[in-house]
Amino acid sequence: MEKLMIAGGRPLRGTVQISGAKNSAVALIPAAILAETPVTLDNLPHLSDVNTYAEILSELGGEVTWNDDVMVIDPSRMKSIPMPNGKVKKLRASYYLMGALLGRFGEAVIGLPGGCNFEPRPIDLHIKGFEALGAEVTNENGALHIRAKQLRGAKIYLDMVSVGATINIMLAAARAKGSTIIENAAKEPEIIDVATLLNSMGAKIKGAGTETIRIEGVDAMHGCRHSIIPDRIQAGTYMIAAAATRGDVTIDNVIPKHMEAMTAKLQEMGVHIYEMDESIRVVGQPEYHSVDVKALVYPGFATDLQSPMTSLLCQASGVSILTDYVYSNRFKHVPELVRMNAKIKVEGRSAVIERSILSAAKVRATDLRAGAALAIAALSVPNGEVTEITGVEYIDRGYDNFVFNLSMLGAEVWRTEEE
Ligand SMILES: CC(=O)N[C@H]1[C@@H](OP(=O)(O)OP(=O)(O)OC[C@H]2O[C@@H](n3ccc(=O)[nH]c3=O)[C@H](O)[C@@H]2O)O[C@H](CO)[C@@H](O)[C@@H]1O
Ligand SMILES: C=C(OP(=O)(O)O)C(=O)O
C-alpha cells in the first residue's frame, strides 16, 4: 500500500484540467449493457472505480477496449452471470449492474455493494423500484437475486431523493413494457448525463434533471458515442484547495452552472472567483469569513464536497457550522483533522469549526472525500511540514491524476510505499 506525502505551505498556481465525472462514468459503463451493439464513451476519467467496472463488464462477457480517455464497450455477447461476491464489493456503484442486467436479461444476481461506507447506505429504494416494475427480489447470503418474467412500467414515488435509485430505476425501466414515472427523482447533473446516453441508445426518457422523469419502455437499444460530463466534485475540490493555499488556480473543463452552490459559498467567505464559459478562476485571499454550509441534494451544496470544505473552514475567522442533510454521520474526516490541530466538534449532523493553525501529522483517509479533506488540510499546513496520509486507495477511487495535478500547480506532493 502507498501513502501520500504532502509538504504544506505552497500556494497552488496555474491551470488544472478536470476529467470526466466518476459518478457519471460508473453509471454510463453499466448502462452500455442495455445495448446490443458497441457504446463508445469519451472523456473517461482514470480512476480505480472505472478500472474495476471495466473488469466486471469483461467478466460478464463484454468486450471492453480502452485507450486513454476513450472506452469502447461491446455488450453483444454479455450474459447475466451471477456476481454474488468479488469485484462488486469494491465499489458502491456496482448496484447499477442490477438495473442494467434486469433491463436487458430480466435477471441479476449481484452482491450488496461496497465502496465508501462512512455510514450505513441502504438500497431499499432501488429494491422497491425494481419490485414496482414487477421484479421479485430476494436477499440470499448478502446477494440480491432479482428476476422478472416481464418488466412493466409503473408510477414510482421515491421516499427520499436518491441519485442511485433514480438511475437504477431508469436503467431497468428503459426496457420495460409501457410507461414508468419516477416522482421525487434526484436532479443531479449525472442523472441528465445518464438519460442523455440512454436516449442516444434508443431509450425514450423525458424530464431528467427535474423531479418527474417519464420513461417509455423500448424493446431494443443500440450503441452510440457519448462524452462524459466534467467531474463537479473534483472541480470543487481544486477550488477549495486554491482558496485554502491562498493560490490562484484556473479550473478548466468544468460547467460553471454545476458549481453554483460552491462558488456562492466561497464568495461569501471572501474568495475571489471569475467564471468563464468552461473554466473558473479561483484567487485566494489573506482573510476569510466564517460561513454556515448546508449539504443538500442538487442544486444545493454537494455532500461530497462537505469534507474538503471542512478543511478550508478551519481558516475562516469566527465559527462556521457545516450541516450534512444527505448523510447525517459523514464526519470520519473530523478526528483525523483534529490530529492536525483542527478545532472541530461534531454535534448531531453538524460540524462546528473554529479557526485553527493546522500542523502536520500522520493521518488516515477512511473514505474518498475524507482523503481529499486531509490532502487540503496538509496543503494548508504552514512552513513546509510534511503530512503523511494513508488510505490513498480511497483517493484513487475518485481523483484522476491527483499527485500529478497538484504537482503541476506547484504543490510538494509525492507517493511512497507504506512501511
Ligand atoms: C456512485 C454515486 O453516484 N455516488 C453518489 C450518490 O450515492 P448514492 O446514490 O448511493 O446516494 P443516494 O443519493 O442514494 O443517497 C441519498 C440519501 O438517501 C438515502 N437512501 C438512498 C437509497 C436508498 O435506497 N435508501 C436510502 O435511505 C441514503 O442513505 C442517503 O441518506 O449520491 C450521493 C449523494 O449525492 C453521493 O454522495 C455519492 O457520491
Ligand atoms: C461517496 C462517494 O462515492 P460512492 O457513492 O461511489 O462511494 C463520493 O464520490 O464521494
Ligand 1 centroid from CA 233, angstroms: 15
160 lines ligand 1 (CB under 6 A): yes
Using CA atoms, how far apart are residues 62 and 202, in angstroms rounded to an integer?
20
Between the alpha carbon of residue 320 and those of residues 188, 316, 359, the distances in Å are 26, 8, 20
Report pLDDT digits (tens) over 224-280: 999 999 999 999 999 999 999 999 999 999 999 999 999 999 999 999 999 999 999
163 lines ligand 2 (CB under 6 A): no
Q: Which residues contact 122 (CB under 8 A, 6 or more apart)?
A: none
Torsion angle defined by CA atoms of residues 195, 199, 201 and 203, in that order, rounded to the nearest 10 degrees: 100
Report pLDDT digits (tens) over 68-109: 999 999 999 999 999 999 999 999 999 999 999 999 999 999
333 lines ligand 2 (CB under 6 A): no
Q: Look up residue 114 and give its amino acid.
A: G
Ligand 2 centroid from CA 4, angstroms: 20
- Work out the average pLDDT over 299-321: 98
pTM check: above 0.90:
yes
Range(s) within the chain of domains with CATH label 3.65.10.10: 2-19+230-417, 22-227
Decide: 35 and 74 in contact? Cβ < 8 Å: no
Residue tagged 504543490 (cell numbers): 411
330 lines ligand 1 (CB under 6 A): no
pLDDT surpassing 80 at residue 115: no
Q: Does 146 appear as a known binding residue?
A: no
* Closest CA to ligand 2's atom 6: 92
Report pLDDT digits (tens) over 180-192: 999 999 999 999 9
Q: Which residues are catalytic?
A: 116
Taking the CA of residue 128 as reference, the ligand 1 atom at the shortest distance is 24
Q: Which ligand is nearest to the CA of 96?
A: 1
3.40.50.2300, 3.40.50.10700, 3.65.10.10, 3.30.1340.30: which CATH number matches 22-227? 3.65.10.10
Rg, C-alpha atoms of the chain: 21
* Closest CA to ligand 1's atom 9: 164
This complex has an ipTM of 0.99
* Closest CA to ligand 2's atom 5: 92
Q: Considering the domain 2-19+230-417 in this protein, what is its CATH number? A: 3.65.10.10
Query: What's the confidence (pLDDT) of residue 114?
Result: 82
